[in-house]
Structure 1
Amino acid sequence: MPTAREALLNAAHSALAGRPWPAVRMVDVASAASVSRQTLYNEFGGKDGLARALVRREADAYLSGVDRVLGEPAAAAEQLVRLAEWIVAEARSRPLLRALLTGVWSDRLPEPRPAGRSAAGPAVPAQRRADAGHPAPADLVAAVRDRSLAALEQRGGSRAREESAEAGRHCELAVRLALSCLVAGPPEGVGRLVRTALSGPGRRAAGR
């Protein structure tokens, strides 16, 4: 059974699917989650806090998904192809994720405003983390690169560590190509594009 916080985030996410964020009312979110408005304010501090929590949850879900893809058995190059394809597919169906990855926010989405330094804010640890701010697109690229390197080293040991610099470049290349296809298209060709890019110089390390 979801906690009150999870139920509120689920309700806010569902409301966002049907209307722009400025039209989402806190009273409706609380009602849909079957909790009081006071509980909502205790958890998030206000609508801006709820927006920050929604975006933080989306970023966390994205990185968890990256870990799942990287955990699937495959050669390194093929794993990056799968990762790029997964990123494009997920971002096309998740507007919040697309905004996080590209930095392009529409007025329908809850682009979170930074928490004021003087604001007391709620005492909920998860909300303090959300209020600290969401990762920028470059931060998410770096996080995926680091996760990719960790997965490679776990499988390959010391030899993989020796090749980590090149592997890191390959991962960044794959992710940036995915983002490029997401913005400019065609998204369906991202796998082929990544395979072509990784077959160039340094392909021996990418193919291991």
Structure 2
Amino acid sequence: MMPAARESLLDAAYTALARRSWSTVRMVDVAAAAGVSRQTLYNEFGSKEGLARALVRREADGYLVGVDRALGAHADARDRLTATAEWTTSAARENALVRAMLTGCWSERLPSPTLSAVPSSSAVPAQRRADGPLPSPGDFVAVVRDRAVAALAGPGAARPDTADLARSCELVVRLALSCVAAPPGEGGVGELVRSALTPAHRALLS
């Protein structure tokens, strides 16, 4: 199947999930909305569970693309971390799957694919990847922290303060995740990040 058709099926599944609980989403309706046969849908994803895993994987990838975009959006390191925190909270607010992945709290209306890998006999490379292990909330913390360190430290980042930089980045990521669970008040996550970065953090990031 062409990648565009796979994306159309995932778009149809995402739209269906926005309207009803996953348990009531029917494969035949997803296929019809994407303009393909139900057999084509099963050939691509294998099962409804396979479709769920692929959908969750796509939303995880989309969140991380946004992280990279936020980390590259500014010249100042503090602004990059602030943008990353703001993206994290906005993505979680607007996308129930991202929120569930970042917090580990899967509501009854969402699919609940297991985090561990499942045996995959799919001939579709993208589905074999989707059938692999899904990131846990702790995995996301580590991935975003490491991407932030790489973006801020620059090439050849063997600086002696890399460990301190990693701690500062992890602080920001965890602060953002706390704001996903308990939305901040006036000023939002950006103000919290700026106030949490102590003079020592700011010196490290400058």
TM-score w.r.t. the length of structure 1 is: 0.90
- Report the counterpart of residue 133 of structure 1 in structure 2: 133
- How large is the RMSD of aligned CA atoms in angstroms? 1.9
Deviation of residue 160 (structure 1)? Answer: 7.4
Deviation of residue 15 (structure 1)? Answer: 0.5
User: 2:63 is matched by which residue type in structure 1?
Assistant: Y
Where relative contact order (Cα < 8 A, 6+ residues apart) is larger, the structure is: 1
CA contact (8 A) 2:145 2:170 kept: yes
User: 1:53 is matched by which residue type in structure 2?
Assistant: A
> In the aligned structure 1, how far is the partner of 2:23 from the partner of 2:132?
22
- Report the counterpart of residue 170 of structure 1 in structure 2: 168
Q: State the identity %.
A: 60
User: 2:8 is matched by which residue type in structure 1?
Assistant: A
User: 1:12 is matched by which residue type in structure 2?
Assistant: A
> In the aligned structure 1, how far is the partner of 2:53 from the partner of 2:4?
18
- How do residues 3-14 of structure 1 correspond to structure 2 at under 5 angstroms? 3-14=4-15
Q: Give every structure 1 segment of 4 or more consecutive aligned residues whose post-TM-superposition deviation is greater than 3 Å.
A: 113-117, 157-162
Q: SS state of the match for residue 73, structure 1?
A: coil
**Greater shift after overlay, 168-177 or 105-114?**
105-114
Q: Does 1:148 align with 2:184?
A: no
Q: SS state of the match for residue 23, structure 2?
A: helix
Structure 2, unpaired ranges of 5+: none
- Report the counterpart of residue 181 of structure 2 in structure 1: 183
Q: Does 1:204 align with 2:203?
A: yes
> In the aligned structure 2, how far is the partner of 1:38 from the partner of 1:132?
23
Deviation of residue 159 (structure 1)? Answer: 7.1
Deviations 1:3-58 (A, max 9, x none): 22111101000111100000100000000011111111111100000000000001
User: 1:70 is matched by which residue type in structure 2?
Assistant: L
**Greater shift after overlay, 70-79 or 33-42?**
70-79
